[in-house]
Every structure is written in C-alpha cells, then in structure tokens.
Amino acid sequence: MVASTTPRPGARRASGSPEGGPPRSGGGPGRVAALIPVRLRRLGLPYLLILPAIVLELLIHVVPMLVGIWMSFLKLTQFFIRNWSAAPSAGLANYEIAVDFDSAVGGSLLRSFTVTVAFTVLAVGLCWLLGTAAAVLMQGGFRGRGVLRTLFLTPYALPAYAGVITWSFMFQRDSGLVNHILVEQSGLLDERPFWLIGGNSFAALLVTYVWRVWPFAFLVLMAGVQNISGDLYEASAIDGAGWWRQLRSITLPMLRPVNQVVVLVLFLWTFNDFNTPYVLFGRSAPQEADLISIHIYQSSFVTWNFGSGAAMSVLLLLFLLLVTAVYLVATSHRRTRA
C-alpha cells in the first residue's frame, strides 16, 4: 500500500546495478575517473533527501517511544518530574499495578479498555457501513452528486473541536436540540435525560464520533468504487446479473483491498481517539465513555504518576501491535486465497 515494488524506468539508474549505464550528466564514456564520485553521490542522494524526515521522526516519535518504555520502569511521581534522573527504579511495579484487576488502578484500566473495545467495534462498524452505503449509492452520476459529496466531507474538514463542541451543546439537558426533539417535539420520552453524564454518555460519544469520522470512510470508499472498471458491470449485466448480484459479486469483492486499509486505519484512530471525549466531556469523562487515551491522560496528569501512565501506554501499544499483526495476517491470507 505504501510502495509498489515494480521498478520504474527512472529508478533503475540509481539502484547501483553493475550493468546500469553511466549517469548521463556524468559526461561521455571517456571520463571514467569522473564517474565514480558522481555515482557515489547518486547512491548517497536518496539518503540525503530522506535525512531530515528521519531525524524528525527519530526525535519526536522513536526516541520518545524508547524513553516512554524506560519511564514505565521508573517510579516517576510528581517529585521527580523536573529531575527524572533521580527517579528510583520501579522494576515491574507499574505493570503489576496496571494488570492487577482487583486493585483500583488495574480495575479502572480494565473497565476503560472494555469500554474502548465496545466503542471501537461499534464506531468502526457504523463508519464503514455509512461510508459504503453512501459510496455505493452515489455510484453513477445524478444531479446534485457534487454538492452532496462536499456536504458529506464538511464534518471531516471542520476542526475536530468545533464539531464536537456543537454536539456537546446539542446534548445539553435543558437547552439542547436532542432533548428538544425527543421530549418536546416527538414526546418519545417524558423526562429529559442527561446525555453527557451517566450511561447515555456512551451513545452521545458514539454519535458524535461517527458524525465526525464516517466521511473519511466515505471518501476512500468512493474513490475505490470509482476505480472499479465499468466493463465488469456491463459484462455481468449481459449475463443477466441484477443490482444486488452486482453489488455482492463485483462491488464488494473489488473493494476488499480498500476495505482492508480503511478498517485498519479506522480501528487505530478510533481506539486511540482522544479529541472527541476530551472536548465532549472536558477533563473528566464519565466512566461509561472513558476511552483508553483519556484514561491514561487523566491518570497521568491528575495523579502526576508518569511511570504508571507510561506503563499503560506501553501495554496499549503492545495490544495495538498484536491486533494489527493478526489483522494483517488474517486479511492478507484471505486475499491470497480468494
């Protein structure tokens, strides 16, 4: 998905293959001596070009990740934040507390993890379903298609906080639109429920998140649908296939590689989502909507126990790596078999 492995003609020259001709800017065949530094320069050039990107990725992602792993073995409480070299080793204590589900810390981590799994499954499922439905139904031209596409993409373009703040206003108990519709206009409910605290907060979080993220699934799937050759549909129509049959036998199978990427990306984004609960609920998310990122954030910055927070982050990373690996193996296997 990142890099196709088929060589392109322009690339061969730099691959250093012995039979590759001399670089053209190096001059004629007679100037052999001048060739070597040019060729060396050519070999080094791609590395020079990616160097800034590598340095930054190392500084901001790789080094902090390693530091994070180190921190997770330290007793890094508020007394050592400004001078962490003095923090005593904690051994595996931070991990033991995190996975001791009978303790307060471990118990709440497990609950947050369960909530996050449920949230991720539902949110990814809904985003994918809405995205696929819209992409398939917008296949083929009709009037207003461009306008609809722009409209659907707007929540994705909006800064996350602007959209989520609006939802948090809509979910207000006394002045919000949701209760206005449910209680006053339709009479479905007699009492105004709270949406941002208690059990309903999970639903509020889910609706807000799906509103914000389904356009991404739509965007990618729409491009996937457009890439399916029209010949396939024509050929199958001649064979008498109806719309459903075409959907099941052409559209969905052809979308499988796109789906593989979309579902994985959605899974990772959703599982790690911080913005939606943070803006929707403020610093203290209700238990029922306590996603793992916000849980780690709170337990780190409220208690200032960074060692424990780092240990939880490492556990989260291991879990994500495991799921991603299993997912890639499982879906790739199915693809090669199919």
Partner 1 sequence: MREPRWLPWARWIVLGFLSLFTLLPLYVMATTSIKPLGDVQGDFHWIPTTISLQPFADIWRTVPLAHYFANSLIVASVAAVASVTIAIFAAYAISRYRFPGRRIFSVTVLSTQMFPGILFLLPLFMIFVNLGNTIGVELYGSRTGLIITYLTFSLPFSIWMLVGYFDSIPTALDEAAQVDGSGPVGALLRVVIPAAMPGIVAVTIYAFMTAWAEVLFASVMTDESTRTLAVGLQGYSTQNDVYWNQLMAASLVVSVPVVAGFLLLQRYLVQGLTAGAVK
Task: For residue 195, give Cα distances in angstroms to 29, 167, 170, 207, 244.
Answer: 77, 11, 10, 11, 39
Q: How far is the CB of 78 from partner 1 (least distance, A)?
A: 12
Closest to partner 1 by CB, 201 vs 311, is 311
CB of 206 to partner 1, least distance (A): 13
Tell me how many helices (H) and strands (E) the chain has: 16, 0
101 or 301, CB closer to partner 1?
301
The C-alpha atoms of residue 181 and residue 188 are separated, in whole angstroms, by 9
Residue with smaller CB distance to partner 1, 96 or 184? 184
For partner 1, the closer CB: 102 or 186:
186
Pick between residue 202 and residue 297 the one whose CB is nearest to partner 1.
297
Instruction: Give me the least distance between CB of 107 and partner 1, in Å please.
Output: 20
Q: What's the rounded Cα separation, in Å, for the pair 206 and 275?
A: 13
Cα(291)–Cα(169) distance, integer angstroms: 21
Supply the angle between the helices 200-226 and 145-157 in degrees, to the nearest 10. Answer: 130
- Nearest-approach distance from CB 202 to partner 1, in angstroms: 18
Shortest Å distance, C-beta 227 to partner 1: 5
* Contact by Cβ (8 Å): 277, 285: yes
- Token pair listed for 284: 């203290």
